[in-house]
Amino acid sequence: MFTIEHDFDATVVTLVDEGVGHLQEDVTVNAFEDCVTVEQLNPRTDTVEKITLSMAQLRDLRAALNLPEGVYQMRKTAG
């Protein structure tokens, strides 16, 4: 399950882990104009861990999810 909210300066997506077995804490993705942050509560420390991705890193991650194992470099195409 997930939710989508549109705030003033970001689109916020919250991913909720559902099902049986060991479940993870919710993940919150904040999409800003120039970066994306991913946040998740660390239950061991009771703090929110935050990762910030540039738009280029997000583009590379998107491409990586659909590629086989290997090393890649994104290049701009002429045109």
23: left (phi over 0), alpha (psi -120 to 50) or beta: beta
Is pLDDT above 70 for 27? yes
Q: How many helices (H) and strands (E) does the chain have?
A: 1, 5
Among the listed residues 44, 46, 47, 7, the one whose alpha carbon sits nearest the alpha carbon of residue 29:
7
pLDDT score at 10: 94
Tens of pLDDT, residues 55-68:
999 999 988 888 88
* 78 has a pLDDT exceeding 80: no
Examine the pLDDT at 79 and tell me if it is beyond 70: no
Taking a C-beta distance cutoff of 8 angstroms, is the pair 59, 74 a contact? Answer: yes
Give this prediction's pTM. 0.82
